[in-house]
Structure 1
Amino acid sequence: MTIEDEVRSLQKFRMFHHVETPKLKLLAMISDRIVFQPGETIYEQGEASDAVYIVLEGQYKVSLHTPDGVIDFAQHVRGTLLGEAGVLCEQNRMVSITAETTVTALRVDRESFLELIKESLPFNLAVMRELGRQIMDLNNICAQLVQRLPKGAPAADAARSIASPANAH
């Protein structure tokens, strides 16, 4: 696939509609195109956040490893960013991502991604919009879960991470 083909693929995503074509071309040039087969791990919870992935094609699932087992809590399809929060916050991966179907993605290393955010306000805004959308989705999920709690049950224990053991305070 040529750089121009990848730029056209990126332009189809709502997230990149306002990003300048030269910046999308730069994004395509600094990215590595990677194909993950069904069942293959894109990245694992706890790993260093060394790159961001832009899913061009395919479906993947998001899993959280907890002391009580693995929780598969989301499935997504093309047109999304993966790993941007960990890169931006300099945190290890919070979840594991596994290909459900064949997934084609662009892998952008951490430094290149951060540089592109600094250089392009429209790209920066695209990433912020994507993060905002994810926060809104998570808020909706949380609201649905809270509604399922028994009346009078606390909605959250803010002092404890879901990924940490209950007795690890």
Structure 2
Amino acid sequence: MSTTAGKQVAKKSGMRVFKPGEQLFNQNDHADSLFIIQKGQIRLYIPKGRGFVDLAILRAGEVIGEMGYFDEKAQRRSCSAAALVTTEVIEISYNAFGKTMEGLNPWFKTIINTLADRLRKTNAKVKELESNSVGRGTDGKVGEYVFFHTPDVTRFLSMFYLVMKTHAELKESKMEIHLSKLKFYMFDIFNLAEVKFEEFLRMCVENSFVELANDPDGFPKLIRVANIDQFRQMVVFFNTQRITEDSKKIIISSRCEKLLGAILNQFALAGVDKEKWQADISAILEDFASKNIRVSDEDIRDAVNCGFCEDILVDNGKLTSVIHYSKLKKVYPSIRMMNAVKRVNETKSSH
């Protein structure tokens, strides 16, 4: 008995559960089983340079890993697969699947093998041409991997804003639209990348730009937005950043972002609504220290350089800063989105 055959016999079929981020398999791993998704989402991707190229997101009812069965030359995984959320799958060994195939009518088996062969050749051609999201370096080297380019973010923000303004309904002071309608425009009409849209939506939810609520069927597919004008402002911000010289771009560190958010919260509690106002930086830093949040007065430097506030003043040991309130309040959501995009790019690049 060959080594491959031995592995197939040893492989058992059955239900498996994968945690978010857990790998089902990696590209070029030995393939000895296929998976039928029962619940959850599986991300398919190909390592590329220092990052990867996302291929698809598969959901309940879809099959993964079946092509390895038909690849007689080398039973290797053609891509990598990982769970996006807690995912349940039924794993079926190639040995068990082969016994089922043996029982099929010969002509039906021929059709399946032919379709599989054509799909395998198409996949190979796609991999040869694939260059999505990978920058070009010098001397033929692969540049730094970027999942979200600035035009990607601008495109998603623009389409999201336009679809919400056109088709969303006002309910309980929030704009609401069903995810299926939003996806119809994003994918079928504007042909945007589904994998990137899923990440964009997750990013919006995590940063409280968007809320998810249950639809009449009990699924979290209602998109709710409290301030749709924020998306228009973010479109303008990202488009301006795109055409601005690097030396003049707005760059705010994550720590500075936290500090600015605390300043705005301080003003909101005080009922401030003026062009300029003095922030009590000492009180904010004391609050951060009590929560073990690593932010110092030095972290305000980015905001000073970008014109959102003035240098910190010290008076009897108390730290204060004059804040350009109206300007900061308008741009702050865009700063949060910009840094959220940066974190996504860094995380995916490190993978």
Q: TM-score range by the shorter chain?
A: 0.5 to 0.7
Deviation string 1:101-158 (CA, Å, 9 cap, x unpaired) is 111111111111111112145xx77x94xx67x95xx79xxxxxxxxxxxxxxxx799
The Cα offsets for residues 10-55 of structure 1, whole Å up to 9 and x where unpaired, read as: xxxxxxxxxxxxxxxxxxxx73110011111011111001111111
Distance 1:60 1:157 in 2: 20
Q: Secondary structure at the match of 1:62?
A: strand
Does 2:28 match 1:56?
no
Task: Calculate the TM-score normalised by the size of structure 2.
Answer: 0.28
2:25 aligned with 1:40, yes or no? Answer: no
C-alpha change, 1:112 and 1:157, in structure 2 (3 Å) is: closer
* Cα 1:75–1:111 shift into 2, 3 Å: same
Between the aligned partners of 2:50 and 2:86, the Cα distance in structure 1 is 29
| Unpaired segments ≥5 residues, structure 1 | 1-29, 140-155
Deviation at 1:66, TM superposition (A): 2.3
1: CA distance, partners of 2:95 / 2:101: 10
The residue that corresponds to 1:13 in the other structure is none
User: Which residue does the alignment assign to 2:179?
Assistant: none
Q: Give the equivalent residue in structure 1 for 2:101.
A: 117
Aligned 8 A contact 1:59 1:75 in 2: yes
Correspondence for 1:108: 92
The answer to whether the 8 Å contact 1:66/1:162 transfers is: no
Compute the TM-score of the two structures, normalised by the length of structure 1: 0.54
Share of identical aligned residues, percent?
Answer: 24
Which residue number in structure 1 is paired with residue 80 of structure 2?
Answer: 96
Asked which structure has the greater CA Rg, the reply is 2
Q: Is the 8 A contact 1:83 1:93 kept in 2?
A: yes
On the 8 A contact 1:42/1:99 being kept in 2, the answer is: yes
Query: Using CA pairs below 8 Å that are at least 6 residues apart, which structure has the higher relative contact order?
Result: 1
Structure with a larger share of its residues in helix: 2
Partner of 1:65: 47
Corresponding residue number in structure 1 for 2:56? 74
**Root-mean-square deviation (CA), in Å?**
3.5
**Deviation above 2 Å: which 4+ runs of structure 1?**
66-69, 160-163
Q: Which amino acid in the other structure matches residue 44 of structure 1? A: N
